[in-house]
Amino acid sequence: MTSSAQPPAGDSPTARQKRVWDKAAPTYDKQMALVEKIWFAGGREWLGRRAHGRVLEVAIGTGLNLPHYRSDTSVTGIELSPEMLVIARERATDLGRPVELREGDAERLPFGDASFDTVVCALSLCSIPDPAAAIAEMYRVLLPGGTLLLVDHIASSWPPIRAAQWLLERITIRAAGEHFTRRQLPLVQAAGFQVTETERLKAGTVERILARKPAAREAAA
């Protein structure tokens, strides 16, 4: 989601994102509270109900999803920003929830193939520099038959809003690397996932996706 931090020129896209989110970390939860209530209400609960087994959350941020995971899941989180991770660790401690948290890049996940039953990514593919690479990595680390869960803002299905989003991007891409007219669904399908559940909300500006990595026998068919 949007940060008002302005990255310095000359960085790589990933380094710029790291600087943006490190700077935004102390006020991120407060900034997001009203936005989530109005725009993304129910999204984190939707993710938590569907996650199962060994869960990897990509771009876990400050850990806002942690309260919503079921007690029978084992959660690992990866995050580019060390300052975000500080807050996520505090949240996990306050919840009494064992969570493995690592600093790392969504485009190069530091995990072996077929390591997780579920991969979750919430409100982050909008600003990851190469979302196709990140989704390919999510596919790689999922077990055959595993579940991908995404929630993000996307290009509206209503042309006037989509035009406004495009104009807003002229500012947000430069300032924070954030896109408002991306849509993750085609990338999920291109990566080889089988999409089993989708829902668009808020004039088509929010999309929830549940997809499955084909089981080994299905992939071979």
61-115: pLDDT as tens digits = 999 999 999 999 999 999 999 999 999 999 999 999 999 999 999 999 999 999 9
Using CA atoms, how far apart are residues 190 and 16, in angstroms rounded to an integer?
27
Instruction: Give a yes or no: residue 60 inside a domain.
Output: yes
pLDDT digits (tens, 9 = 90+) for 108-154: 999 999 999 999 999 999 999 999 999 999 999 999 999 999 999 99
CB 117 within 8 A of CB 54: yes
Q: Please, which residues have CB within 8 angstroms of residue 152's CB and are 6 or more apart in sequence?
A: 121, 122, 123, 124, 125, 126, 182, 184, 206, 207
The CATH number of whichever domain residue 125 belongs to comes to: 3.40.50.150
Instruction: Give a yes or no: residue 6 inside a domain.
Output: no
Count of structural domains within the chain: 1
Using CA atoms, how far apart are residues 152 and 97, in angstroms rounded to an integer?
25
Does the pLDDT of residue 8 top 90, yes or no? no
Strand pairing class (74-79; 54-58): parallel
Q: What is the pTM of this model?
A: 0.92
Instruction: Give a yes or no: residue 2 inside a domain.
Output: no
Count how many Cα atoms sit within 13 Å of the Cα of residue 150 in the half-sphere of its side chain.
31
Domain ranges, residue 89: 13-216
Instruction: Give a yes or no: residue 61 inside a domain.
Output: yes
pLDDT digits (tens, 9 = 90+) for 181-208: 999 999 999 999 999 999 999 999 999 9
Closest CA relative to residue 102, chosen from 81, 73, 74: 81
Does the pLDDT of residue 1 top 60, yes or no? no
Q: Which DSSP helix (H) or strand (E) runs through 92?
A: helix 82-95
Instruction: Give a yes or no: residue 93 inside a domain.
Output: yes
The residue with tokens 């668009």 is 200
**Range 164-191 burial, b when 16+ CB lie within 10 A, else e:** ebeeebeebeebbbbbbbbbbbebbeeb
Instruction: Give a yes or no: residue 134 inside a domain.
Output: yes
Instruction: Give a yes or no: residue 194 inside a domain.
Output: yes
Q: Cβ of 36: how many Cβ atoms within 10 Å?
A: 17
The residue with tokens 């808020």 is 202
Instruction: Give a yes or no: residue 34 inside a domain.
Output: yes
